[in-house]
Amino acid sequence: MTRQRVRIAIVGINYAPESIGIAPYTTLLASGLAARGHEVQVLTGFPHYPEWARRDGTFRFRSEEVENLVHIGRFGHYVPRRATTSGRVAMETTFGLQVLLARWNEPEVVLVVSPPLLAAGISAVRARLSRPRPAIGVIVHDLYGRGAEETAAVTGRPALAVHAVEAAVLRLADEVVVIHEGFAEILERLGVDRGRIRTVRNWNHVAPPDPAASAAFRAAAGWDPAEVVILHSGNMGAKQGLENVVAAARLASLEGRRVRFVLLGDGNQRVRLEAEGAGVDTLQFLDPVAEDVFPSVLGAADVLLVNERPGVAQMAVPSKLTSYLNSGKPLLAATDAGGFTAAEIAASGAGVRVPADRPDLLLREAVRLGTDGELATRLAEAGRRYCATVLSEHEALDRYEEWILDLARTPRGLGAR
């Protein structure tokens, strides 16, 4: 590809050193584009996810740094103690207003990451009012309207308002990228022209586990070689519905099963889950680990788990899937049959699905996957093949770069409706 150097501004509240969720993809997109010769500025927040607390414990209004050729501007936004609807609105608004008032690098292309939706809208308005007006692209990782419906965070007229705001923000863009083809169908129903939507899959960004390091981690963690370890990593929030895992662990304890359910990470539901699971000897909570240790943790487990709240189906594609698929371990998904996670499990051939609200089936399938070595190997190999052929970082960056170059060449305003 003959490359034209483009000035790019990327606006997204999550960025490294956050290591789960959206942050790794925004970080790798920025550094990947910079490595290809583009001038990249990132406007982001201070690390706060998934803890929902500032990591350094202090408030800073702004900071600037350069890392991997990327100019990074950070803004001190409000961080709610709990991820309530009102708290999210306050956080997104305070971040968006800071972006609105910040100095930009006179970008030719502005890429806005959603979530956060309100901040994305404010950033898109800022871009539209700039002269000369840059091209505007929105990258959609989660669907807010679907999320409001599926988690019942808001209902009735407020839910309709969320759909309306989401549609309005997306119509501000010249083009939109979604991380799953199923998102495109939903955006069309919101009034976004299909010709302005592209699909670029998220990619695997975690190295395959080193067997020796994984064995050392398992021994250090006190996991018995004879027990089946089922690991769920990442955010512990409402949409994960992890009370289902606590119930499965409790059932395993009552039945005397040699299994261990491990919840690795943090989130606004962790304290509640720890209280609910107190005294269950087949359940363990682990704090987040460093990025270089994470592959070893995946390799130390026998089964990797995705758990979603009943009803959560089409609001997001769990980012943990891309890490799991390259781990050499079988996957188990407790999720709705009609959702995007179930579709990914089926397409990859890397795991088994059970209903989202059946802890008994979750336990049964976890034991089966953890004790049937031939089945586990077959599923793990399928996951690695899928990761190599469908979830390639190089291919994703190629597609993003092609999109950005197309945006830069488009006469301003012609793409927006």
**Worst-scoring range by mean pLDDT, 159-168, 275-284, 334-343?**
159-168
pTM value is 0.90
Name the residue ranges covered by the structural domains of the chain.
7-203+392-409, 211-390
Q: Rounded to the nearest 5 degrees, what angle is found at the Cα of 374, between the Cα atoms of 371 and 377?
A: 95
Domains 7-203+392-409 and 211-390 share a fold: yes
Q: What DSSP line would sit under 88-110, residue for residue?
A: HHHHHHHHHHHHHHSPP---SEE
The answer on pLDDT for 155 being more than 90 is no
Quickly state the pLDDT bin for 416 (edges 50, 70, 90): very low
Task: Name the band, by pLDDT with cuts 50, 70 and 90, for residue 316.
Answer: confident
Identify the three-state secondary structure at position 72: strand
> What's the pLDDT tens digit per position in 1-29?
446 899 999 999 999 999 989 999 999 99
C-alpha dihedral, 380 to 267 to 180 to 191, nearest 10°: 170
Q: Report the chain's mean pLDDT, rounded to a whole number.
A: 92
Fold of 211-390: Rossmann fold (3.40.50)
Distances (CA, A) of 139 to 142, 192, 251: 9, 14, 41
Task: For the domain covering 7-203+392-409, report its CATH number.
Answer: 3.40.50.2000
Task: Please name the residue that has the structure tokens 């997306």.
Answer: 170
- 8 Å CB contact between 338 and 311: no
**Amino acid 78: pLDDT:** 92
Confidence of residue 158 (pLDDT cuts 50, 70, 90): confident
**How far is the C-alpha of 274 from the C-alpha of 264, rounded, in Å?**
12
- Quick one: pLDDT at residue 3? 64
User: Rounded CA gap, 334 and 305, in Å?
Assistant: 8
Average the pLDDT over each of 301-305, 314-318, 328-332 and give the range with the smallest value.
Answer: 314-318
Q: At what angle do helices 117-129 and 157-171 cross, to 10 degrees?
A: 40
Tokens of 306: 């995705």
CA distance 23 to 11: 12
Share of the chain above pLDDT 90, in %: 80
Amino acid identity at 236: M
